[in-house]
Amino acid sequence: MLTFTNRTALVTGAGRGIGKAIAENLARHGVTVICVSKSAESCGSTAAAIVAAGGKAKAMAVDVADGSGVAKAAEALLAEFPAIDILVNNAGITKDGLLFRMSEADWNDVLSTNLTSCFHWTKHLARPMTRARWGRIVNITSVSGIMGNAGQANYSAAKAGMIGLTKTLAREFAGRSVTVNAVAPGFIKTDMTAEFVNNPEVSAKILEVVPLKRFGEAADIAHMTAFLCSEEANYITGQVFAVDGGMAM
């Protein structure tokens, strides 16, 4: 069991997939979890599942791509909770296409949902962490941000941007014992990848480049994330941990 002393976490994209697994896993460790997603139904169902299992959770529907919406939500939450000690920036979308066919709208949507959202949440939630001299920020990036991936110029740029942001904020906040790390999933079975995973030809092609020869589970990302949020990870900052079956070796 990892050590968490009376901590509260905010997890974005907690309605489904990896974010849901992260939220539920933190809650199992006794962390109070604020579950954020775009739809109220989605984050509400995760929070309800946590409470039904004996944990503590609150749901909040916020469009993370909307900076003023994030500011309002953060203000309300900081007034309600004595502290938000842990921030997991996990919400993300893909809008794939080769560069020549990629619209500016698809570029902007992916950048604002995956990357600019991290800027907004961190700006609002990190200041109280630095004052408290304890905090954990985990950004869920991707192997696409490390290796690049044809057809994902917008997504790879956003995810690589999250890595630069992680390393810079790790340096800015280190003196206040706020750690900032990134987790880079490979191919994980969620709604985001269902179209590839459920297509035998496409999935066989993908698995050729995965040394462990299988897709990952959302729980694999949740375990790494919980560790980085725990007391046990207190000497780790500015790092990117690939959880990808060996893809980005």
Return the residue of 60, 163, 188, 243 that touches ligand NAP, per CB under 6 A: 188
**What is the smallest separation between the CB atom of 133 and ligand NAP, expressed in angstroms?**
29
Report the Cα 214 to chain-centroid distance in Å.
22
Pairing between β-strand 178-185 and β-strand 135-140 as defined by DSSP bridges: parallel
Q: Tell me if 135 contacts ligand NAP by CB under 6 A.
A: no
Give the whole-angstrom CA distance, residue 5 versus residue 44: 25
Return the residue of 39, 103, 198, 234 that touches ligand NAP, per CB under 6 A: 39
Are 129 and 176 within 8 A, CB to CB?
yes
Q: Which residues pair with 182 in a beta bridge?
A: 139, 240
User: What would the x/- binding string for ligand NAP be over residues 113 to 132, using CB under 6 A?
Assistant: xx------------------
Are 90 and 19 within 8 A, CB to CB?
yes
Q: Is 235 a catalytic residue?
A: no
Return the residue of 28, 30, 49, 63 that touches ligand NAP, per CB under 6 A: 63
Total residues interacting with ligand NAP, rule: CB under 6 A: 30
Q: Tell me if 191 contacts ligand NAP by CB under 6 A.
A: yes
C-alpha dihedral sign at 191, 193, 195, 198: negative
Return the residue matching tokens 């946590």: 50
Of these residues, 4, 134, 155, 187, which one is catalytic? 155
- Identify which of 117, 108, 111, 112 has the alpha carbon closest to the alpha carbon of residue 36: 117
Which range touches ligand NAP (CB under 6 A), out of 85-93, 97-105, 206-214, 232-240? 85-93
Give the whole-angstrom CA distance, residue 26 versus residue 46: 12
Closer by beta carbon to ligand NAP, 134 or else 145: 145
Q: Tell me if 38 contacts ligand NAP by CB under 6 A.
A: yes
The binding site for ligand NAP (CB under 6 A) comprises 12-13, 15-19, 37-39, 42, 62-65, 90-93, 113-114, 140, 142, 185, 187-188, 190-193
Which residue numbers are catalytic? 155
